[in-house]
């Protein structure tokens, strides 16, 4: 019989959490990369910052999953994302000639998080197809 150390237990929980989040993270990064092209076409200076926000939010999501706190922690995750991203996004916005105050940056980060939250999870039911009109 082997005694599992505290760190081994934490490592196992972290691995399990990452495995559960893996499909979501991959999909979010793929969609974030695809959306980066769209954002870049609207404003070339902001495509990369969009991808940076997506990546940072995904990492925060992984961290909370590793701690076993996937649900019920949205406010804390958003606050952490804004704290981390505030200086980076503000600098990018300023360089692009956009408003870069704290409120604008917070609103931007929150909008990207809302975008990511709107992505259906793998295996989610497809929306119902409307019936064809009858003649």
97 burial type by CB count under 10 A (0-12 exposed, 13-18 middle, 19+ buried): exposed
Q: Which comes out higher in pLDDT, residue 72 or 107?
A: 107
**What's the pLDDT at 101?**
96
How far does Cα 59 stand from its chain's mean position? 8
**What's the pLDDT at 122?**
66
Map out the domains of the chain as residue ranges.
Answer: 6-117
* Mean of pLDDT over the chain: 73
**What's the pLDDT at 30?**
54
pTM here is 0.61
What is the rounded distance in angstroms from the CA atom of residue 59 to the CA atom of residue 80? 11
pLDDT for residue 104 is more than 90: yes
């Amino acid at each position: 019989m082997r005694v599992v150390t505290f760190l081994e237990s934490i490592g196992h929980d972290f691995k399990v959490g990452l495995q559960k989040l893996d499909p979501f993270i991959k999909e979010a990064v793929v969609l974030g990369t695809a959306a980066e092209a769209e954002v870049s076409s609207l404003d070339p200076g902001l495509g990369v910052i969009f991808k940076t926000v997506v990546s940072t939010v995904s990492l925060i999501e992984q961290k909370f999953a590793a701690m076993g706190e996937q649900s019920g922690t949205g406010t804390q995750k958003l606050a952490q994302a804004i704290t981390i991203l505030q200086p980076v996004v503000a600098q990018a916005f300023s360089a692009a000639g956009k408003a870069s105050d704290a409120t604008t940056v917070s609103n931007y980060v929150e909008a990207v998080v809302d975008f990511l939250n709107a992505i259906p999870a793998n295996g989610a039911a497809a929306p119902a197809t409307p019936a064809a009109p009858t003649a």
